[in-house]
Amino acid sequence: MGVPQAMAALRDKAALVRESLQKSQTITESMVSILGSFDHRLSSLETAMRPTQIRTHSIRRAHENIDKTLKAAEAILGRFDLTRKAEAKILRGPHEDLESYLEAIDQLRSNLQYFTTHKCFKSTSGIITHANNLLTKAISKLEDEFRNLLTNYSKVVEPDRLFDGLPDSLRPSATSPGKRNDSKKDSDNQKNSENAVYTPPTLIPPRVLPLLHNLAQQMVQAGHQQQLFRIYRDTRASVLEQSLRKLGVERLSKDDVQKMQWEVLEAKIGNWIHYMRIAVKLLFAGEKKICDQILAGIDSLRDQCYAEITANSVSVLLSFGEAIAKSKRSPEKLFVLLDMYEIMRELQSEIDYLFGTKSCTEMRESAQSLTKRLAQTAQETFGDFEEAVAKDATKTAVLDGTVHPLTSYVINYVKFLFDYKTTLEQLFQEFEESDTEAQLKTLTTRIMEALQTNLDGKSKQYKDPALTQLFLMNNMHYIVRSVRRSEAKDLLGDDWVQIHRRIVQQHANQYKRISWAKVLQCVTIQGAAPTGGGGILGGDSGSGISRAMVKDRFKNFNAQFEDLHMRQCQWNVPDSELRESLRLAVAEVLLPAYRSFHKRFGQVLPMAESGKSPCKYIKYKPEDLERMLSEFFEGKTCVEQKR
């Protein structure tokens, strides 16, 4: 196709497009005109419908308000109904159904809060006033119910029930309270008491405790804390004090203690130790348990309540301990002081727990103060005892030279001290942190030295120096033997024992020298000067003795031996081994000398004077002396000897 033809075709197409565009423009203008007309009509319609829409919205809001009002009215009517039901239960009182009564109070309190926050109609204030009055009456009845319930179930605990809560070893059937045994009555029991199981009595039945707790909570919510406090304190304190009185606890002053005979006081101290254990581990522990349960969640009131319930009972118990600690000191009180100190130490952790709150500070500190005072008094009594031993001035001498009562008393005292070794170590630590074993050793050594010094003084009362030595030998032997058989040996040591055994031997040797030296001189050949008067006996002129001297020797021997026999059979060596040892020591020097003298001169003397009996001078054979020596130191009286 040529160019002219192509151009013609293109023009035709352009004309066609132009025509189409013109038609489209015409249609668009027509549509805009139509839509504008619709917009005008819709605007007119909307204007016409607006009042209808407003009325519809108002109707909807009215319906919503009606629904809300109906619901509010329904809720208020429901509260009125609940208040009416709660009022009915409250007016019936708590006796029939306590739990239902408590629920009614909760409901009434809830309704009161509701009406207080929904003051939407005129009668609200009247309803609130009525509810408050009703709640006051309800709480008043609640107080009465709490008091009645607590009083009815708070019973005095009989002693037998308390004893049942003790470990078997501490019950009165096992160890009678108030009586001390010389071997330390409860030594083993007290050592095991820390691990023993104690069972506090049931002071209030468990089923009643939740009811009392709920009642207490209601009283607190009503602002009646003080009423609750007074009711609980007065009721429980009275029962606790009566329980202790039935057990035997009584308030005693220092003057009361001073007037008592020692046996009576000792029994009361033993009872006090028993009562302290029962009070702390059973009664006070049981009291704290129910107080914690009934007043749970009311901490300040609970702590103050428990403090005031127990205050008087604690005071009565501790006042007796204080009276003993402040009373006149005497050696026999030391061990009961240690017993009292021991029980206070044993109970210290329980006391710290039971009386650990701020409200109980005074009682806790009073117990600690008593423990300290008992320790101080015991320590001062040690010093008194040492001084009393050193200055003991009893004039009554033991005539037979046996062990002096002071010696046995002091040794038994020291033995008892070692029964309390652990307690003493704790006591020493109350005042200083030094080596407690060294302190006990020093104390024991000083007491022993004081005893020996006193015995030396008492030995000077004897006119016979031989009896002096026998007395010292007996007493020192008793001391050494007692130490060797006790725990004191481990403390004083083997060196102490050996030194004092040598002292015993020294006194025995001194006795032999003083008693038997002159007797032995009568039968000793050596050193006798030969004489020509009256003839010479014996073939050896170097050892010749005149007949007169032989007569005098036998005569003097008989007289001196008989005198020793008469006197020293009355003397006493109570230890059988020591007695036999001393007899043997005498026999070992006397009998060989007498046999030799008797053998040499006993057969010759009769030939010198025919017709005269040698028995006038030779009264005893060696066998007779041996028999008579076996009668020495038996402590026989003159009458017994004649028999």
Higher pLDDT, 31 or 102: 31
Long-range Cβ pairs for the range 557-565 (8 Å, 24+): 557/519, 557/522, 557/523, 557/594, 558/617, 558/619, 558/620, 560/518, 560/519, 560/522, 561/519, 561/620, 561/625, 561/628, 564/515, 564/516, 564/519, 565/628, 565/631, 565/632
Most confident of 167-181, 210-224, 504-518: 504-518
Cα separation, 467 vs 510, in Å, equals 10
Handedness of CA 582, 580, 520, 568 (dihedral sign): positive
Higher per-residue confidence, 192 vs 108: 108
What is the distance between the alpha carbons of residues 594 and 537, in angstroms, rounded to a whole number? Answer: 17
Q: Cβ neighbours of residue 210 under 8 Å, at least 6 residues apart?
A: none
| Cα–Cα distance for residue pair 281/350, rounded to 1 Å | 7
- Cα–Cα distances in angstroms (integers) from residue 503 to residues 357, 412, 445, 474, 516, in the given order: 60, 21, 16, 11, 20
pLDDT confidence bin for 180, thresholds 50/70/90: very low
Mean pLDDT (whole number) for 577-597 = 93
Is residue 316 predicted with pLDDT exceeding 60?
yes
Predicted confidence (pLDDT) at residue 241 exceeds the cutoff of 70:
yes
In which residue are the tokens 């320590």 written?
Answer: 379
Q: What's the pLDDT score for residue 529? A: 41
Q: How confident is residue 100, by pLDDT bands cut at 50, 70 and 90? A: low
The pLDDT of 104-130, averaged and rounded, is: 63
Mean pLDDT (the chain, rounded): 82
Q: How confident is the model at residue 347 (pLDDT cuts 50, 70, 90)?
A: very high
User: What is the tally of helices (H) and strands (E) in the chain?
Assistant: 24, 2
pLDDT at 556 over 80: yes
DSSP string, 504-542: HHHHHHHHHHHHHHHHHHHT--TTPPP--TT-EESS-GG
**How confident is the model at residue 597, as a pLDDT?**
87
Banded pLDDT at 117 (limits 50, 70, 90): low
C-alpha 576/C-alpha 580 separation (Å) is 6
pLDDT score of 93 more than 80? no
Would you list the DSSP string of 24-61?
HHHHHHHHHHHHHHHHHHHHHHHHHHHHHHHHHHHHHH
Relative to beta strand 545-546, strand 536-537 is antiparallel
pLDDT of residue 454 exceeding 50: yes
Query: Which is higher by pLDDT, 207 or 523?
Result: 207
Indicate if the pLDDT at residue 266 is higher than 60: yes
- Give the pLDDT band of residue 119 (cuts 50, 70, 90): low
% of the chain exceeding 70 in pLDDT:
78
More confident residue, 598 or 627: 627
**Minimum mean pLDDT among 68-72, 166-170, 295-299, 359-363: which range?**
68-72
Return the minimum-mean-pLDDT range out of 70-79, 167-176, 202-211, 531-540: 531-540
62-83 per-residue burial string, b: 16 or more CB within 10 A, e: under 16: eeeeeeeeeeeeeebeebeebb
pLDDT at 527: 47
Report the pLDDT value the prediction gives residue 430, as an integer from 0 to 100: 84
pLDDT digits (tens, 9 = 90+) for 25-42: 888 777 777 777 767 777
**DSSP state letter for 281:** I
Statement: residue 246 has pLDDT above 80: yes
Confidence grade of residue 10 (pLDDT, cut at 50, 70, 90): confident
Contacts for 140 with CB less than 8 Å, ≥ 6 apart:
none
pLDDT value at 557 more than 60: yes
Residue 399 has pLDDT above 80, yes or no: yes
> Confidence band (pLDDT; 50, 70, 90) for 127?
low
pTM (2 d.p.):
0.73
Would you tell me how many other CB atoms lie within 10 Å of the CB of residue 360?
A: 22
**Quick one: pLDDT at residue 470?**
95
The residues, ordered by sequence, that sit 6+ positions from 556 with a Cβ below 8 Å of its Cβ are 522
pLDDT-wise least confident of 116-125, 187-196, 215-224: 187-196
Local confidence band at 539 (pLDDT 50, 70, 90 cut-offs): very low
**Residues 208 and 139: beta-carbon distance below 8 Å:** no
What are 485-537's pLDDT values in tens digits?
Answer: 888 888 889 999 999 999 999 999 999 999 999 999 988 876 444 343 444 44
In the chain, % of residues over pLDDT 90 = 45
State which H helix or E strand residue 547 sits in: helix 547-568
- CA 6 to chain centroid, in Å, comes to 133
pLDDT at 538: 47
- What pLDDT shows up at residue 80? 55
Among 183-187, 316-320, 553-557, top mean pLDDT goes to: 316-320
- For 468-485, how does the pLDDT look when each residue is reduced to its tens digit (9 = 90+)? 999 999 999 999 999 998
Asked if pLDDT for residue 9 goes beyond 60, the answer is yes
Dihedral angle computed from the Cα positions of residues 337, 340, 342 and 345, in that order, rounded to the nearest 10 degrees: -120
Instruction: Indicate the pLDDT class of residue 299, thresholds 50, 70 and 90.
Output: confident
